[in-house]
Amino acid sequence: MAGQLHVTAELSEYVRRMSLREDEILRSLREETAALPAGRAMQVMAEEGQLLTLLARLVGARTVLEVGTFTGYSTLCLARAVAPEGRVITCDITERWPRVGMPHWRRAGVLDRIDLRIGDASDTLAALLLDEGPGSVDLVFIDADKPGYPKYYEAALPLLRENGLIVVDNTLFFGKVVDPGARDADTEAIRGFNALLAEDRRVDISLLPMADGITLVRKRGAAEPPC
């Protein structure tokens, strides 16, 4: 049985050359974001954005919820995946960074599919549950403040339909999750969140060693036998 490959720079470049289909609009947004303070560290990889598009199409997503917009690279990838009458509800605490992405959303022709909500994400998710009801969301992408992950996850789960998908970013957190000397609040938060998911029988999970760690979470149906 083959084990996990060590991904060298050469292998990573090969994967990118063979699979990445980043167009000029996405590339220009990524490059503009990279020039911002901490922009490279905070934005998703181009390959991850492409994966989000693929996953949204696979689940036939019409309503997508994104917790953490930043400059909206992932928002754009998700908005391209939903049907023209679909929407991406994306939450951020400030308008500052999403403003960077808006001209790119407009150029891509998806601005009308994006519903930007500014404020505390917990309040936004609570309002969505009241307004839209349980099971109204097909896919959720969580990429926000790390200590907030458990509350965002628990608030998103009732919004998600059965067999819907939650995608969680940064679940390996720069590899620090396995460093016993790493005791900062963000690393500890990710460790705790990963442990929570590992024991949650309401869902099926897979933690992918891609980018900074991506966990896929499928909401199980009420009639499914225990896993």
Domains for the chain: give ranges and CATH numbers. 44-219 (3.40.50.150)
The pLDDT value recorded for residue 224 is 85
* Angstrom distance (rounded) from CA 28 to CA 44: 14
The pLDDT value recorded for residue 183 is 97
The pLDDT value recorded for residue 73 is 98
Evaluate whether 138 touches 161 at the Cβ level (below 8 Å): yes
* Angstrom distance (rounded) from CA 29 to CA 52: 16
- 64-76 per-position pLDDT tens digit: 999 999 999 999 9
- Counting as low any pLDDT under 50, the low residues of the chain are none
* Angstrom distance (rounded) from CA 211 to CA 223: 34
Structure pTM?
0.96
State the DSSP code for 188. H
* Angstrom distance (rounded) from CA 121 to CA 174: 24
Residue for token pair 């200590």: 147
